[in-house]
Structure 1
């Protein structure tokens, strides 16, 4: 039984085996097991004092923002703030369960739900939440990095019929939407699959507004416009909608910092037999703080599982097993160069990061196992029994959902299908052009190096014309000047190569991500056309035939009750099949709609990638300009005419 379920006088500490390895939320202290039941209240009081003292110690020398103090005063003005209320505040941050556990365990040793939280514990929790939302792993060491500028966390409002508080003092803070529910059991669940009535209602209203305004959301001007879709949602649903929280979690900085990031690197040595060696990859999960080794077939297995389990969602693309020019023997490639391996590594990185960004995929047990199981994954797959079932199995259709669903959904999908091929073609061209531009820059860097080498040769071979005299000094100054120019050309080469490398990892990969996302949407539509089939018309005809048979049986005098019962059962079974197929068809369309909205919201990445691109170009342009200015100053004394 959890310590939270025990009364204050009944709590006691149990000895924990494998203390350092066991995951925990409320870790036990080093006090051992011989603590009587009557010592529970005293022990709890001691632990609270220790926790308060540790928090105060951690905050020494750190500037506490005034907003932290106002938040604490606001929430503690009615009988203080207890642990349960603080936990709800943290859950409104949109952070993963793992990060929330990490923050709680840093601050508290052990605490009861009703225990009042001190201001120092409150400040420390809020600071760690803000740090986590900035993409940093929460720790005391990270806290000290922000000692002069603690971040303001972004917490998102959630509606409830019991009581909602609005904090007017927060209006002046950009993107800070703060709300809290006291004495309420409703909390934000980051595992939500966007499948609630309020979500569907808002989606319907959003799409209707888009259609009424005669704006195509898939044009290049609106495809990536975050406010375009958000404004339509807020116009109808307001802040009380559950969808409000989803959109805010995906908003601006939070969208980029709250999701996991997986880094992929090569394992230094290949494995396998001669001629059939394979490459392994090391995966580092930032938020989960895990390190695992996987091979290409493991990634392929994960994609196949996602395809089977979520055929009507935008499953990310995998890079091909091989590219053109690779020699194949019995299914194995013999000619593998570093360029091929690097292309595939980047493709795998795009795939797994798209998976962990997706609000449904990232919480799937298979994805979690893929990122956390430290043993050899092929053995884990053999030892694990997987049951992959239809995502919409046992779901019952609701009349309210049907009434709120956009009536012109098929027209919306058709319009998207008409434009998506053009979008894909344009992104393919963008990737090719950017790749060509970066190659030109790398070639330019190489030419800079060749130019510098030629100058060095000239300066070394340009011998003195006379052994003594003014001409000798003149040539000497010329040679020195050429050496200076050569050094600055080499510096320019370094800057150009470094910039090309940064842009290759930056905007080029970002453009390929957008291309892959569009192709994933197109593949999702193709799977829908293939898999979303039914035989409702056949079943309806069979029901009509059986009804006619029942009518004819009723007219007969020698009625066979067994035949009639058999026909009635067949009719009931067919009607049930029709209802199930219609329900499945509706939920498939509903799922497709959520994926379209998620895709459109994710287009805020486009704005980020071009901002990052501009910043990198400005940075290296300034470095190059400074390099040329330095060269100009140093060659000012270089002879330019005979005196």
Structure 2
């Protein structure tokens, strides 16, 4: 059954293959039979060379005792110490071992490729991994030394026999191995964009326990429990604060310059039944070191946006990726202009959120989408687009495993789980707030319309009222009566109409500000909430692994290997070799999946940290809303005050 790093026991990141702590290790007893003269292939369990998630976080001496071979080299040749000192930090996997040692020795004809393959088999068969354990490293150097000293003697039995009498390397060979130059360093680099699969490059995702490096960097060894009571294991909080701050500083979601990217509709008719909408995108962004300065202008269609989003979801599934507004067109129907405006604004938010993300804005496809004027559909047919996952071929940082995660992992898991359970309700509440703001804006529009009606009705009333309140009939009005009262009343009604006219324009301005600026900021934050919710859902689906199935198959094949090698004398050596290779391949696959699990943790951890910056969008939108309402209220109060001054003393209340 497949496991997810987000689903298992109390730890949503656990991948289901922790060590057995109950003391009943059946795998050890099942592995008690030896394969001829050499030790049997270890059955997966507490005696295995696999490093589980919990083991990776454990930098105590018990881990080394569990992984390291029972026999130690006490008389280490001086040349071995020099090689280990120079290369131990660079050789983290079997792939590194081949590149930095074996390939150099073959190139200089110290031995051939067949001898290399034989030694690699011995390494896998006899638990000489991980390479972070110094004793394993020295034994591998011993195998190399024996093979060079006398070809054919570089086997595990001879190594055991001569463990403390291993041959020295020549000074020329030591110089060759510890030589460092840029070209050799480049050979170590695995480009995640150009590698079809990690295995094709010989990637061995054995994760090194790197507590010694962490201790040297921080002034103490790593403490997996984050317990500050131990001075030796304490990780300085200033280092963690710096690490978290650097990640959060990369992301600035505030809309202080909302128009980083501008977008405008350009209708274009194509055919008899369909009307396609093109969008002109303009910006002055310098997205990378190669894009020129100045204004860029490209034309894109909605379908181009859809393709871009699909690409980003495939390559960056564990990032917070903004969503798109719906297409919502039916065949033969004419698109509603109001809906087109909402869709254009949604595309505008999508692009601006995209260019604010520190990782997504550097993606070459995003840069092309925003800068190259070529039609996207034409460009896609010609370009070689790599949509493989962003960390393909990458090895997890030992600093993240041994320093960052032990210190902050528990807190992160708690916050991640809490956010995942609360995000739906939070979206529901904020959506209602957005609807209320929209209703407020529509009420302002209605009030503005009503104010315009006030002006119209007052003008009609002034025209008609002089017919029932004559101002020239001396008999009816009386000798001493003020004949101009109705005129004074109508003049004041004119001031009232002017007030409604000015307040109408003020309401229109406020409605426009709410609709185009404030409401967009409310929706911008809502977009981020939806993006985080989608990240939670994608992670649960895509973090699945089949480590438990691989583990089961390895155990079955190891038992079969032991049985065939000890009981069936007629089994050919090639059949055993094939079975052994299957076991090795499954082990490597487990390491690769474990490495991927850690990379997913790292990626989601960074995204969750950066998402914390969106809390300031809440402040921004309400501060802007408050300032806008205060400005409107101030302007409206000024109109009210002027009206009061105009009519209070001028409108007659009696003769």
| Structure-2 residue corresponding to 1:270 | 268
| Structure-2 residue corresponding to 1:291 | 297
Q: Do structure 1's residue 549 and structure 2's residue 560 form an aligned pair?
A: yes
Q: Aligned-pair distance for 1:522?
A: 1.1
| Structure-2 residue corresponding to 1:578 | 590
| Structure-1 residue corresponding to 2:16 | none
Q: Aligned-pair distance for 1:536?
A: 0.8
Q: Do structure 1's residue 609 and structure 2's residue 617 form an aligned pair?
A: no
What is the rounded CA distance, in whole Å, between the counterparts of 2:338 and 2:511 in structure 1? 16
- Equivalent position SS for 1:282: strand
What is the rounded CA distance, in whole Å, between the counterparts of 1:575 and 1:350 in structure 2? 46
TM-score by length of 1: 0.59
What is the rounded CA distance, in whole Å, between the counterparts of 2:516 and 2:339 in structure 1? 16
Q: Per-residue displacement from partner, 1:178-228 (whole Å, max 9, x unpaired)?
A: xxxxxxxxxxxxxxxxxxx99xx9xxx9x999x99xxxxxxxxxxxxxxxx
Q: 1:137-148 residue pairs with structure 2 within 5 A?
A: none
Structure 2 gaps of 5+ residues are 1-212, 229-234, 287-294, 475-480
| Structure-1 residue corresponding to 2:348 | 349
Distance 1:410 1:249, change over 3 A: closer
Distance 1:442 1:258, change over 3 A: closer
Aligned length: 409
| Structure-1 residue corresponding to 2:463 | 460
Q: Per-residue displacement from partner, 1:14-44 (whole Å, max 9, x unpaired)?
A: xxxxxxxxxxxxxxxxxxxxxxxxxxxxxxx
Between 1 and 2, higher relative CO (CA 8 Å, sep ≥ 6) is seen in 2
| Cα RMSD after superposing both structures | 2.9
TM-score by length of 2: 0.58
Mean Cα deviation higher: 380-389 or 344-353: 380-389
Q: Aligned-pair distance for 1:243?
A: 4.7
Q: Aligned-pair distance for 1:577?
A: 0.4
Bigger Rg, which one: 2
Distance 1:639 1:412, change over 3 A: closer
What is the rounded CA distance, in whole Å, between the counterparts of 2:252 and 2:366 in structure 1? 24
| Structure-2 residue corresponding to 1:372 | 371
Contact 2:525 2:614 (8 Å CA) reproduced:
no
Q: Do structure 1's residue 518 and structure 2's residue 529 form an aligned pair?
A: yes
- Equivalent position SS for 2:545: coil
Q: Aligned-pair distance for 1:489?
A: 0.4
Contact 1:465 1:471 (8 Å CA) reproduced:
no
Q: 1:144-163 residue pairs with structure 2 within 5 A?
A: none
| Structure-2 residue corresponding to 1:633 | 645
Distance 1:234 1:544, change over 3 A: closer
What is the rounded CA distance, in whole Å, between the counterparts of 2:644 and 2:483 in structure 1? 24
Q: Do structure 1's residue 444 and structure 2's residue 442 form an aligned pair?
A: no
Q: Do structure 1's residue 531 and structure 2's residue 542 form an aligned pair?
A: yes
Equivalent position to 1:307, from 295, 298, 313: 313
Contact 1:260 1:356 (8 Å CA) reproduced:
no
Q: Aligned-pair distance for 1:375?
A: 2.9
Q: Aligned-pair distance for 1:423?
A: 0.7
Distance 1:250 1:586, change over 3 A: closer
- Equivalent position SS for 1:602: helix
Contact 1:309 1:390 (8 Å CA) reproduced:
yes
What is the rounded CA distance, in whole Å, between the counterparts of 2:583 and 2:471 in structure 1? 114
What is the rounded CA distance, in whole Å, between the counterparts of 2:653 and 2:409 in structure 1? 82
- Equivalent position SS for 1:312: coil
Q: Aligned-pair distance for 1:393?
A: 0.9
Distance 1:296 1:511, change over 3 A: same
What is the rounded CA distance, in whole Å, between the counterparts of 2:605 and 2:251 in structure 1? 17
Q: Aligned-pair distance for 1:639?
A: 2.5
Equivalent position to 2:519, from 508, 511, 535: 508
Equivalent position to 2:504, from 493, 500, 519: 493
Q: Aligned-pair distance for 1:411?
A: 4.3
What is the rounded CA distance, in whole Å, between the counterparts of 2:636 and 2:538 in structure 1? 50
Structure 1 gaps of 5+ residues are 1-196, 213-232
Q: Do structure 1's residue 280 and structure 2's residue 285 form an aligned pair?
A: no
Contact 1:320 1:344 (8 Å CA) reproduced:
yes
Equivalent position to 2:611, from 599, 606, 611: 599
Contact 1:506 1:609 (8 Å CA) reproduced:
no
Q: 1:121-136 residue pairs with structure 2 within 5 A?
A: none
Q: Aligned-pair distance for 1:535?
A: 1.1
Distance 1:499 1:257, change over 3 A: closer
Q: Aligned-pair distance for 1:584?
A: 0.6
| Structure-2 residue corresponding to 1:561 | 573
Distance 1:258 1:265, change over 3 A: closer
- Equivalent position SS for 1:270: strand
Distance 1:452 1:510, change over 3 A: same
What is the rounded CA distance, in whole Å, between the counterparts of 2:258 and 2:640 in structure 1? 42
Q: Aligned-pair distance for 1:472?
A: 3.8
- Equivalent position SS for 1:416: helix
Q: 1:207-246 residue pairs with structure 2 within 5 A?
A: 235-237=237-239, 241=242, 243-246=244-247
- Equivalent position SS for 2:281: strand
Q: Do structure 1's residue 317 and structure 2's residue 323 form an aligned pair?
A: yes
Q: Aligned-pair distance for 1:578?
A: 0.4
Contact 1:307 1:315 (8 Å CA) reproduced:
yes
Q: Aligned-pair distance for 1:434?
A: 0.9
